[in-house]
Amino acid sequence: MLAAVGPPAARRPDPQRYAMAKQQQTVLERQYSRLGLLLIAPTVLVFCAVIAYPLVSAIYLSLFKIFTPTLEGTWVGLDNYRTLLVKGEFWTSLRANLIWTVGTLTLQIIFGVGMALVLHQNIWFRSLARSLILFPYFISTVVAVLVWKWLFNDLYGILNHLMISAGLIDWPIDYLGTMPNAMISVILVGAWKYFPFVVIAVLARLQSIPDQLYEAARIDGAGPIARFFDVTLPQLREVLVVIIMLRAIWDFKEFDLIFLLTGGGPVTSTQTLPLVVYKEAFALNQMGMAAAYAVIMMLIMLVFMILYMRRTQREDT
Amino acid sequence: MLRKIAFNLFAWSIVLMVAFPLFWMLVTSVKPQFELFRRPPTILPETWTFEHYWKLLSDTNFLGYFWNSVILSTTTTIVVVAIATVGAYSLVRFRYKGRESLAFLVLFTYLLPSVVLILPLYLMLVQLGLSNTITSLVIAYTTFALPYALWLLRSFMAGIPEDLESAALVDGASRLGAFWDIILPQLLPGIISTALFTFILSWNEYLYALVLVNSDDARPLTTGVMNMLISSFNIEWSLLMAASVMMSVPLIIVFAFLQSYLTRGFGAGGVKG
Amino acid sequence: MADVVLSNVHKKFGTFTAVEDLNLDIQQGEFISLLGPSGCGKTTTLRMLAGLEFPTSGEIRIGDRVVNDVPPGDRDIAMVFQSYALYPHMSVGQNIAYPLKKRRVPKTERAGMVAKTAEMLQLTPLLHRKPKELSGGQQQRVALGRALVRDPKVFLLDEPLSNLDAKLRGYMRAELIELHQRLGRTMVYVTHDQLEAMTMSDRIAVMEGGKLQQFAPPQEVYRAPANRFVASFIGTPGMNIVDGSLHEDAGRWTFTAPGFSVDAGQLGPDARPGPAAMGIRPEGLTIGSGPIQGITQLVEQTGHENITVVRLEDGLRMTGRTAPDRLWRTGEPVQLSIDARQAHFFAEGPTGKRLNRDVCTMDAPGSNGTSLKEATS
């Protein structure tokens, strides 16, 4: 309410009054501020201990060569970064990471929006259908991976059986052990697991589009397809941008799903950056190098994160 | 009418396709071992059996893992939601220096990848002598659960009209009195949905459990069940599917009774993937 | 005795000045309205009185103490919010009892006080309902009940009627006036509705841009607006304001606008020759005869009178009241005259000061003139 009108600066307050205007806060106001700080103190303490300190030391670690089992390190400066950037592994991992992110994100968005449009209609047992769709999102990645590994099983898996009996293939497919099958499988399972997020977010937005808009479009002679492109899609644009940014960030840093499904294999063809960090630190015992990978990865993600945060801040105010 | 039926059939066939893996998990878990290798496979089991569930509970350490997960997720949820509730109150309803940048920091860490924090956290917890304990996992889970819970609760808190608190103050309550009498009851649905999300996140977490815990005494379900897959010479799919079903039990309960809280959480601030 | 005093109160939000150098002293038992358009600082002022906002500088007194550092609950005030702010999880009875509970009134006494208040506001059958089960008017009465129950020194009301429909609003207005007379407590009432302010208040504080424009009884605000802003804000239909210039000739002033001029007679000491504005209320205009030529542009029939808008030759529009038996057609040429005795003259600018010399003799605060209510309705 107060933001509407600016102060007309007709008369300057005299100096004495100006000095008074700069007066300190009232006692009560100070008490409130102190209470506010007290209430946020646990958060700040935890943040410093388990987030800020580790974040800084991750950067610090990346400047050392550390052998994980003994945790003994020697200062190497920026050597880790230099090695990393000339090593092929970083670039192939980055490539795998981008293929995975773009692939799974695209499918999530397409399936998610499509499914949301379907669920927005008045279908039978809608809430049951919604629960079923939502479920993959909430189950543990471990469960999802076990189930899919069983579905993908080359000898007894139902997927191979169905495809053979449908005449699509003659021999069982190795879904996870060869390329490009492994990447495609990972992308598909990722899409299956995470598209419900898009469904729910889009569905919530769809339900908030006022009916008058559709009525007006109908009066103006728009058919169902025109109504989708002229009414629905523009209304969804905002929420889609937010979803895409969020999901891009989360998919980019996905570890569990890929690690558990393929472990980065065959060889390193589905090895994304988070997997390299893990491998360097705990399989190759190169803690310093792992930290360097993690820092580089964070820098790449920072672009998206800043974009998203700016947007959120703008909405906040 | 015909169009409507056709559309419904179309919609439901997609829904069933999406749900099929879960259906298959359930079916496999109640099939006897020999039926798994039947060609063609049976869609519904010819003989129903719960032997795999019995075996899971008696022959494996599943119950131990389950118990660890319950303690771990409950502790994390209580600690995180308690800190985040007062933190969110402070962030939304108080004015002090640095408040804006703090809110910004919360969002930043909400998006931060775990692999960046895991290396120093590992070193820190090893040095503190906490590795291989549930405590170490509670500490580690705080790194993703606290920013997440704060972010959610912050938007729930912002949805409570400020006038309510003002009215309580005028009526003679102190700030904390107003928080207790008025804000907390209003925030309760938000707290429940934040707690559910935090619990589910902790229940499903894998990476920290993998890195920080290497003993069955503290191992939660995610890594425990995965170990059962890796360590067995001959993979018993029925057993693994039974484990998967059991592992999803808390989730099924939430879905059956508290789903509205989950949808509310979605509305409040998006969901961590 | 002054009951509520604001001295040199400033309030800034960051770089934005919400209230600037506000001085008000409110007598015990007075009904005061803070009136102005949204964003004028009236709600901020009320919230500072309540202790919900803190003045950047200046002093606030309630009774005989400075309350700047006193928490809202200890200021001996009660407040009714525009949104009612009823506690949704508490029943009507619990809502009304809450301020008593917070003041550690014994439980047995509490029940009696709640019952008495509920009785007075006809809420007795609703005591066990939750706020969301009540109509808007009922919620409003609960909010009042929560304020009344502890018999505070000062009542603060923040647009309490603005969420009610027109008929209920009129009814509640009468209720509030009666309540004020019965309790004899100081009431500070924030509103953007001039009708509410004019009919209910002993004095009105008109605010704009964070600054107090005039603080006077309703008649004075209407008849002798302190400046151009107050003049244009008060009255429906609004005062006709014409930009022009003033000239002096041997102590007599003349106001000249494009198309006509008015003999302003003697003006106050602040009058200067040059650009100025003249204001004339619709009732100061005679339509049908006079020296000014115009064409009727719009005629609104309200039943007991007609509001006629006349367009002058150079595009200027003037609004007048005419008797319902003489109806002009749209587009008909008419003559117009201005009653110079009823004209106000203002210095240049949107809040230009009133320049007239005469100040209406006013009744003492507390007795509203009845003639005005007709004039503003």
- Which among A7, A23, A28 is the nearest to C57, CB-wise? A23
Rounded to an integer, what distance in angstroms lies between the CA atom of residue A50 and that of residue A40? Answer: 16
Residue of chain C with shortest Cα separation from A32: C71
Say if residue C375's pLDDT is above 50: no
| ipTM for the predicted complex | 0.89
Rounded to an integer, what distance in angstroms lies between the CA atom of residue C349 and that of residue C331? Answer: 33
Residue B233 belongs to domain spanning: 64-269
Q: Check CB contact under 8 Å for B163 and C83.
A: yes
Mean pLDDT of C197-213: 93
Give the range with max mean pLDDT: B4-18, B72-86, B254-268, C1-15.
B72-86
Q: CATH code at B258?
A: 1.10.3720.10
**Confidence band, pLDDT 50/70/90 cuts, at residue B220:** very high
pLDDT of residue B268: 56
Mean pLDDT of C44-60: 93
Q: Is C14 on the interface with B (CB under 8 A)?
A: no
Q: Which residues contact A58 (CB under 8 A, 6 or more apart)?
A: A291, A294, A295, B116, B117, B119, B120
Q: Is C81 on the interface with B (CB under 8 A)?
A: yes
pLDDT of residue C2: 63
Helices of type H across chain B: 2-29, 33-36, 51-59, 62-93, 99-111, 114-127, 134-158, 162-170, 175-178, 184-204, 207-212, 221-231, 237-247, 249-257, 259-269
Tell me the sheet residues that pair with A297.
none
pLDDT of residue A70: 77
pLDDT of residue C363: 40
**Confidence band, pLDDT 50/70/90 cuts, at residue B219:** very high
pLDDT of residue C367: 38
Cis peptide before C237 (omega within 30 of 0): yes
Q: Check CB contact under 8 Å for A17 and C17.
A: no
Say if residue A1's pLDDT is above 60: no
E strands of A40-179, at which residues? 64-67, 72-75
Helices of type H across A208-255: 211-219, 224-227, 233-252
Residue B108: how many other CB atoms lie within 10 Å: 18
pLDDT of residue B171: 94
- For each of the domains in chain A, give its residue range(s) and CATH number, in order of start: 87-316 (1.10.3720.10)
Say if residue C281's pLDDT is above 90: yes
List, edge to edge, every strand of the sheet that includes C285-301: C317-322, C306-312, C285-301, C333-338
Q: Check CB contact under 8 Å for C21 and A13.
A: yes
Angstrom CA distances, C72 to A28, C50, C98, stand at 10, 6, 15
Mean pLDDT of C179-186: 91
From A230-234, C113-117, C135-139, the region with the lowest mean pLDDT = A230-234
Angstrom CA distances, B55 to B29, B31, B49, B61, stand at 12, 13, 11, 10
| Contact in structure between C214 and C353 (CB atoms under 8 Å) | no
Rounded to an integer, what distance in angstroms lies between the CA atom of residue B58 and that of residue B261? Answer: 35
Angstrom CA distances, B239 to A234, B50, B65, stand at 49, 10, 15
Q: What is the pLDDT of residues B135-151, one digit of tens each?
A: 999 999 999 999 999 98
pLDDT of residue B221: 93
Rounded to an integer, what distance in angstroms lies between the CA atom of residue A203 and that of residue A239? Answer: 10
Q: Into how many domains does chain B fold?
A: 1
Q: Where are the domains of chain C?
A: 2-223, 228-358
Answer whether residue B186 is part of any domain.
yes
Answer whether residue B103 is part of any domain.
yes
pLDDT of residue C323: 85
The structure tokens listed for C367 are 């007795």
Q: Check CB contact under 8 Å for B25 and A135.
A: no
B169: chain C residues, CB-CB within 8 Å: 51-52, 71-73
Q: Is C317 on the interface with B (CB under 8 A)?
A: no
Tell me the sheet residues that pair with C275.
C245
pLDDT of residue C1: 57
Mean pLDDT of C339-367: 73
Q: Is C151 on the interface with B (CB under 8 A)?
A: no
Residue C365: how many other CB atoms lie within 10 Å: 16
Answer whether residue B153 is part of any domain.
yes
List, edge to edge, every strand of the sheet that includes C260-265: C260-265, C252-257, C240-249, C274-280, C344-347
Q: Is A23 on the interface with C (CB under 8 A)?
A: yes
Q: Is C218 on the interface with B (CB under 8 A)?
A: no
The structure tokens listed for A252 are 């980019």
pLDDT of residue C117: 92
pLDDT of residue A121: 85
Rounded to an integer, what distance in angstroms lies between the CA atom of residue A209 and that of residue A213? Answer: 8
pLDDT of residue C168: 87
User: Domain C2-223 carries which CATH code?
Assistant: 3.40.50.300
Which residues in A202-229 are b (16+ Cβ under 10 Å) and which e? bbebbeeeeeeeeeebeeeebeeeebee
| Contact in structure between B130 and B218 (CB atoms under 8 Å) | no
Among A33, A39, A313, most B C-beta atoms within 10 A, so best to mutate, is A39
Q: Tell how far CA C195 is from the center of its chain.
A: 7
Q: What is the pLDDT of residues A192-219, one digit of tens each?
A: 999 999 998 888 888 888 888 888 888 8
Q: How far is C260 from chain B (nearest CA, A)?
A: 53
pLDDT of residue C219: 93
Subunits with 3+ C-beta pairs closer than 8 A to C: A, B
Q: How far is B147 from chain C (nearest CA, A)?
A: 28
Residue positions counted in chain C: 377
pLDDT of residue C359: 52
Q: Is C50 on the interface with B (CB under 8 A)?
A: yes
Q: What is the pLDDT of residues B39-91, one digit of tens each?
A: 777 778 888 888 889 988 888 889 999 999 999 999 999 999 999 999 999 99
CATH superfamily of C228-358: Nucleic acid-binding proteins (2.40.50.140)
**Confidence band, pLDDT 50/70/90 cuts, at residue B266:** low
Say if residue A10's pLDDT is above 60: no
Q: What is the pLDDT of residues B180-211, one digit of tens each?
A: 999 999 999 999 999 999 999 999 999 999 99
pLDDT of residue A15: 42
Answer whether residue B215 is part of any domain.
yes
Four-CA torsion B167, B170, B171, B173, nearest 10 degrees: 100
